[in-house]
Every structure is written in C-alpha cells, then in structure tokens.
Chain A
Amino acid sequence: AQKVTQAQTEISVVEKEDVTLDCVYETRDTTYYLFWYKQPPSGELVFLIRRNSFDEQNEISGRYSWNFQKSTSSFNFTITASQVVDSAVYFCALSEDRGSTLGRLYFGRGTQLTVWP
C-alpha cells in the first residue's frame, strides 16, 4: 500500500530560523517519485521539487534543500533562513510507476508552516 506521513501538523518559527519538514513514505514499488508542493492561502498547489527513487542525490535550490534517504523512506525538506512569505501548507506526495493510474499522487496531510516576523 502507498502511504505518505507528515507527522508535523503545524510548525511555527520566527523569521530567519531554519526549519525542516518531515516526510516518510511507504511503497512496494522499486521505482517511484517523490514531490513537495506548497499551498499558500490562495489554494493553488505550487510544485517545488520532484525526486526519482533511483536518484538519491540531495538537492539545494536557494534557501530550499531536500534530503532523500531511501534507507529510512524519508524525503525531508529544509528551509534555511525562513521568511514570512514561506508561510503556507506544505505537502509531500508519492507517485508510483505502474498501472493505469500512472502518475497518481498520494499526498500526506500537510504541514502548516507559519513564519513570524
């Protein structure tokens, strides 16, 4: 069965603090894809990153970095020097490489991040 767990429901930090959002996933597939999306109050899901299961390199994009660890089935997201504009709900999602629903996304419940000035 496919499952994505985001254990942190809400996180509050003060501007310029670093914050890590946790994501743990379950899948029986050997090939799969992991995503992070940001959902600001407007509601639109904004794509942040995609990771393939066969590529365990960590990635950094500006203040954002992602740590993919297959051994622990985790795909954590760190924001360095957080800003008020980072306040949003962040979703981790899993997509499997199989069957008719190829590309279907399984989402976690999301983590509400609030960054205070």
Chain B
Amino acid sequence: ETGVTQSPTHLIKTRGQQVTLRCSSQSGHNTVSWYQQALGQGPQFIFQYYREEENGRGNFPPRFSGLQFPNYSSELNVNALELDDSALYLCASRPKLAGGFPDTQYFGPGTRLTVL
C-alpha cells in the first residue's frame, strides 16, 4: 500500500472528448508527478507539480494540463483526445525534502484510458 489512490480505474472516451483523471497523495507528499504508459512501454513523464504549481514538464503538448490542490489531491486533464492517448496514466507522489534532495516516488494503481 503506497497511500496513493487514483480514480477512475478504467475509462473509455471517444476521440475529441476531454477527460479528467484524479489522484490522491499521501499526507505530506507535496510533489506529484504524472506519467503516461503506453502498452508495452515504460512510463513517460508528463509533468510535475510542487506546492500547486507546475515545475517541470516532459514532451507532451499543452492539451495535457494539471492541477494540484492543498489537500494533496491532483488532477490530470487531457483535451481533444486522440487515439494515441490510450494508455495507463500513473500518478506518483513524494515528499520534497529540505535542500531539494529527491525522495522516492510512490505510484498509484493507475487509470487505464481507452480512446475510441
């Protein structure tokens, strides 16, 4: 048990729609990252939030956006869904320790998104 939960577990959308995925982190974990894992691939970094602000982004277009809330929950929003967005979306949280020394990230169970 990592203490990181995600909802929903599965989701089916059609091309062009918008989707919101949710993540709830452990208390005290003020850094959250989102990853996309296509079938048969390793997870790819989408972006990272620290204290409710985006502070790092991978090679994903602006239609991927996020929010982080003071209660350690966060959202990943994807607009104008494309077929290639079908993947497992993983949320990971960790505490950001003094001095910025990165601690281990703990992952949630993921949301499997299918775009038809």
User: Which residues of A are at the interface with B, using a C-beta cutoff of 8 A?
Assistant: 4, 33, 35, 37, 42-47, 50, 91, 93, 95, 97, 99-110
Contacts and interface: CB of A to CB of B under 8 A. Distances in A.
Contact of B45 (A35, A43, A45, A101): A101
B interface, over-half SS: strand
A5 B92 CA distance: 22
B100 to A, nearest CB: 6
A45 B48 CA distance: 17
Interface size class of B (residues with CB under 8 A): 20 to 34
Interface of B: 2, 31, 33, 35, 40-45, 48, 55-58, 88, 90, 92, 94, 96, 100-110, 112
A103 B102 contact: yes
Contacts of B58: 101, 104
A44 B110 CA distance: 6
B43 to A, nearest CB: 5
A104 B45 contact: yes
A103 B110 contact: no
Contacts of A105: 33, 35, 43, 45, 92, 105
A85 to B, nearest CB: 17
Given A91-B42, A101-B45, A103-B48, A33 B102 contact: yes
A67 B103 CA distance: 21
